[in-house]
Amino acid sequence: MIVVMKPNVNEEREAQLIEWLKGMNLGVHVSRGEFQTVLGLVGDTSKVDMELIESLDIVDSVKRVSETFKFCNRKFHPDDTLVKIGNVTVGGGHFVLMAGPCSVENEEQIVTVAKAVKASGADILRGGAFKPRTSPYDFQGLKGEGLELLKLARKETGLPIVSEIMSVQDLPLFEDIDVLQVGARNMQNFDLLKELGRTDKPVLLKRGLANTLKELLMSAEYIMASGNENVILCERGIRTFSDYTRNTLDLSAVPMLHELTHLPVVVDPSHSTGMARLVPPMSLAAAASGADGLIIEVHNDPIHALCDGAQSLRPEEFDTLVKKIRKVREAVR
């Protein structure tokens, strides 16, 4: 850790800081430049509160030299992580297509959509059973019943299933679910992350609306530090001042995350844009940016079918899109 002092700091106060640091069993190398002094801290700096030191009025800035994320850091694990979900592999050049309805509604719906997306080439079926809704008065999902319907659809199609878990208490219900999704709102629900780290199930971790890449990686680190290294990261749009789209899809996160971590990175073009007609171009863009997969909403119910424009694609739109995605994947290989 490096502490850059402000210019012309009172010597006595600098000495007090150095004493305090030494009191934490750290070696302190003092390097005096013409203008300022830099303290190099040696030893176990993981317990040092960077923010506290940075906030001192004699300190200009603090830099960690050793990265704060370890398990998910590409520096310490240069090869891509491959996450196995049944017969499906994600990462390391293996592209995964997850598709299905926003919410599981009934058997006919989920089985019909599952068959359709499988026929188009989807690898994994998605479907929400526990729905995080801004309003307590909005539909909260079929919960346990929804998970049972997903399993039925898996039985019919052989597709592994991914569904969102919102609470540690629901974990027993997810025992037979293939991939556990952590939604954007729960990205920093650290108790949930730790508990998921104690399972061996693949976790699809969505980036929060206002979270930095570093925070996303630290949340992955919570899961991995608890023992589960099967983490798939998901970019799903950040909150900005945008006037047309619901959120702003940050595709530069894909290559940036690939540089920082060995974990697979998938993209959710449906929730980020909130408009079905933006899903195809953003899916193609995500594939071109190097994403390891996509998670796309596909529906087949009548109101969606009668009017374009909802967030979900119709099965035939998905089918057309998948063909183009494959071409883009080939083009950028």
Q: Binders of a copy of itself among 41-100, rule CB under 8 A?
A: 42, 46-47, 49, 51-52, 55-61, 63, 65-66, 68-69
Q: Does 134 bind a copy of itself (CB under 8 A)?
A: yes
Number of residues interacting with a copy of itself: please give it, by CB under 8 A: 114
| Residue 202: φ, ψ to 5° | -60, 140
Q: Are strands 27-32 and 37-42 parallel, antiparallel or unpaired?
A: antiparallel
Does residue number 324 form part of the binding site for a copy of itself (CB under 8 A)?
A: yes
- Contact residues for 238 (Cβ-Cβ < 8 A; gap 6+): 207, 209, 210, 211, 247, 248, 250
Q: Does 138 bind a copy of itself (CB under 8 A)?
A: yes
User: With binding defined as CB under 8 A, does residue 121 bind a copy of itself?
Assistant: no
Under rule CB under 8 A, residue 245 binds a copy of itself: yes
Give the separation between CA 325 and CA 285, rounded to whole angstroms.
Answer: 9
Minimum CB–partner distance for residue 170 and a copy of itself (Å): 8
| Residues forming beta bridges with residue 75, ordered by sequence position | none
Sheet holding 27-32, edge to edge: 27-32, 37-42, 2-5, 59-63
- Nearer Cβ to a copy of itself, position 42 or 119? 42
Of 33-41, 85-93, 110-118, 150-158, the window that binds a copy of itself (rule: CB under 8 A) is 33-41
Which of residues 125, 272, 294, 300 is near a copy of itself by CB under 8 A?
272
d(C-alpha 137, C-alpha 116), whole Å: 32
Contact between 25 and a copy of itself (CB under 8 A)? no
Q: Count of alpha carbons within 13 Å of 286, Cβ hemisphere only? A: 32
| CB nearer a copy of itself, residue 79 or residue 259 | 259
- d(Cα 165, Cα 181) in Å, to the nearest integer? 6
* Residue 11 lies near a copy of itself (rule: CB under 8 A): no
Q: Is 282 in the site for a copy of itself (CB under 8 A)?
A: yes
